[in-house]
Structure formats: structure tokens, C-alpha cells
Amino acid sequence: MIVRIMSICMCKGVTERALREAAGEGTAALRWLIRTTGMGSDCGCCMEAMRETVAAVHAGRYAASQGGGEEAD
Ligand code: FES
């Protein structure tokens, strides 16, 4: 079995999965992840990917709340 781990933030080692989970749990969890890892505080190259990932998670939650159930990606 091959497990693919994608990093969103190479500088701080934050994975896409960790970001998606935090974004799905809400603002406090997202802030906690960013504060504790320092994500985005080094080169800043991850900021756009972070915004897009969080927006996709929130769009999926909105669609699910409207009965759509599909996660935007
Ligand atoms: S890739 Fe996230 S701060 Fe550099």
C-alpha cells in the first residue's frame, strides 16, 4: 500500500491532511494549527495553497449543509 503525504507547508512540515482536518474542525483549530506549527511564517510560499485548501473544505461543508454532500476540491 502506498500512502501519499502531501505537504502544504514545506518549511514547517504541515501536511494537507492536517490542514484539512483543522479547517473542518473550525476557526479555533485552524488558528491553533497555524500558531503551533508556524505555518506560513517562513517563506510564505504556502499561503495561497492554504487559502485554497481551507476554502475547499468550507465549500464542501456548505454544500453538505445544503444537501449537496459533494466536497469541492
Ligand atoms: S512553505 Fe510554508 S512558510 Fe515556507
pLDDT tens digits, 14-40: 999 999 999 999 999 999 999 999 999
Does ligand 1 have an atom closer than 6 angstroms to the CB of 38?
Answer: no
Torsion of CA 71, 1, 49, 19, to 10 degrees: 70
What is the architecture of the domain spanning 9-65?
A: Orthogonal Bundle (1.10)
Cβ partners under 8 Å of residue 68, min gap 6: none
Does ligand 1 have an atom closer than 6 angstroms to the CB of 12?
Answer: yes
31, three cell numbers: 488558528
Calculate mean pLDDT across residues 2-13. Answer: 89
- What are 43-71's pLDDT values in tens digits? 999 999 999 999 999 998 878 888 865 55
Does ligand 1 have an atom closer than 6 angstroms to the CB of 49?
Answer: no
Domain locations in the chain as residue ranges: 9-65
Ligand 1 atom nearest the C-alpha of 45 is 1
Task: Say if strands 14-15 and 7-9 run parallel, antiparallel, or are unpaired.
Answer: antiparallel
